Chains A and B, each alone.
Chain A
Amino acid sequence: MAASKCTRLSSALSRQLLDSVDSVLFDCDGVIWRGDQAVPGAPEVINSLKKNGKRVFFVTNNSTKTRKMYADKLAKLGFNATADEVFGTAYCSAMYLKNVCKLDGKVYLIGSNAMRQELEEVGIQPVGVGPDPISGVQIDWANVPLDKEVQAVLVGFDEHFSYMKLNRALQYLCNLDCQFVGTNTDTRLPLEGGKAVPGTGCLLRAVETAAQRQAQVVGKPSNFMFECVASQFDLDPQRCLMVGDRLDTDIMLGSNCGLKTLLTLTGVSTVAEAEANQKSECPHRQKMVPDYYVDSIADILPALQA
């Protein structure tokens, strides 16, 4: 392994890198697809990796789909993948609540139907999903009836986010025994056609500010996402490669978990940003420097097909 970092991945280095790992973890948005279009060459890369005997996983902060929905999207775009290889935050949050929080009760959910489904799948009952308009006056809101069985508040992407939902979450979180979990802190949610809307990070900040509490965050760069994969598939971090487009989530996760890291330039972060991090004295920024970078993951295809 090269001691220097932030190196462009040449063909020769590609072969060396691929030989040194057994598993490759891919972020999705900006890496293997953009919106509902596959990054050209991406399906071939994933399918070739598998033919070469590598294991492939998909690790995404996007909480709007279940593993099954992701598997359907992957199949539709030509990727040879199964639901159990997908680790989205809807699924991982359910696992986190069950195995780490050891939740024995209901959860007040600000999130999607996908999150509701993943929670129900692990036996946790969510309350609160869907539109929740305001009615009554201020003192009514402070006195909304609370479900006594709720033991946690979980915040994910929710297009029905409203003052009333923020209020209910606050009322539950006034009880310090109530756990507080967020799917991720991404500030923007990428959409089809290159558009974006405010992300879960904005909703989470609203709840954290009102409640004056910090959420436990499940998504990248938190280690939990890797631990979730590693515990199910017995991974050796030193034989894993993390491929992503964001320095502050994907590459940070890779650094924190001792994985090799590859930045692809088809998404958010740039080489200039990576190099600036590399030059900085700050240890936090040093974790956001990839080992290698490529213009697109399609660049490693020649090494795979050789």
Chain B
Amino acid sequence: MAGTVSSSRGCVTLRGAQIRDLLDAKHNVLFDCDGVIWNGETAVTGAPEVVSLLKQRGKRVFFVTNNCTRPRENYVQKFCRLGFTDVAEEEIFSSAYCSAAYLRDVARLQGKVYVIGCGGVMKELQDAGVPVVEEDSAADREPGTSIYNCPLDPDVKAVLVGYDENFTFMKLAKACCYLRNSECLFLATDPDPWHPLRGGRITPGSGSLTAALETASSRKATVIGKPSRFMYECIASQFDLDPARSLMIGDRLETDILFGSNCGLSTVLTLTGVSTLEEAHRYRDSEAPEQKDCVPDYVVESVADFLQALEE
């Protein structure tokens, strides 16, 4: 409509003094990983220095990733490998770690969890002391055992679905059987429909497996990963965080930026990953109120843009 003042704020390109002012106002910086500080096995140029300098300036740094394929100790090794010299395990919050924390501390699970997930998820559950149903492939190969007739463990009180390269119809059928009991919890590590790999390639994500199970069970999963608030609450339960003094830096509008909005954080979109400036503008210019939450406050080309302000 002519004459209407556009409510499209956000997407401010951060430069020079603005970066310094922003960092002065924030005590905690939360980074997504894939597409922000690294791409595959390659660090984003300048990212290790940015993280180091932030810490030297007295900022607290956290890493918040939906990628559930590694346990935290593996992430520490990756950080080292890629030149991030002083990242501690306690600063890393993956959806696998947070799913285990949820089951242990929030749900206070009294029983076992049936897991559709990869090694990273299994290890975090093991580390948290959450009992997992053993995937007994030998029993599954007994004659008479099929998708139509498989044994169930009576101690299962929760189903957790995440990225699983060994996903099969059998697992889907079993999980669906467990979920028929409305008391059985239904959790998903993250909603990502696909994961980006190097070279612009993609591979199916946890979100696609969760969609199959939600359709089969006619139930909605409680999603742990971004954009749900839980990962932030997990950090806040261990560290004292003031959302007004916290900054979220991510590359995916529908997960990282929406997560930041949901938690009351200021948000920065970096263009070294999934989302583009055009997509951010489309959200900004959209009429739908819920789309506004995907609009980043600020945009940078890369986290390296923070270097100049930090080095001064």
Contacts and interface: CB of A to CB of B under 8 A. Distances in A.
Interface of A: 134, 138-139, 141-143, 158-164, 166-167, 170, 174, 187-188, 191, 195, 197-199, 201-203, 205-212
B193 A210 contact: yes
A134 B215 contact: no
Contacts, number: 96
B201 A159 contact: no
Given A138-B203, A198-B176, A209-B207, A163 B166 contact: yes
Given A141-B203, A207-B208, A161 B168 contact: yes
B211 A206 contact: yes
Contacts of A207: 208
The 10 closest A-B pairs by CB, nearest first: A142-B201, A198-B216, A210-B208, A210-B204, A206-B212, A163-B167, A209-B211, A209-B208, A202-B215, A205-B211
Contacts of A206: 204, 208-209, 211-212
A174 B147 contact: no
A191 B148 contact: yes
Contacts of B236: none
B307 interface: no
B198 A139 contact: yes
Contacts of A212: 193-194
Tier of interface size on chain B = 20 to 34
Contacts of A160: 169
Contacts of B185: none
A142 B203 contact: yes
B42 interface: no
B197 interface: yes
B120 interface: no
Given A202-B212, A205-B211, A163 B169 contact: no
Contact of B193 (A163, A201, A209): A209
Contacts of B207: 209-210
B211 A195 contact: no
B215 A205 contact: yes
B287 interface: no
A159 B205 CA distance: 20
Interface string B153-168: 0000000000011111
B202 interface: yes
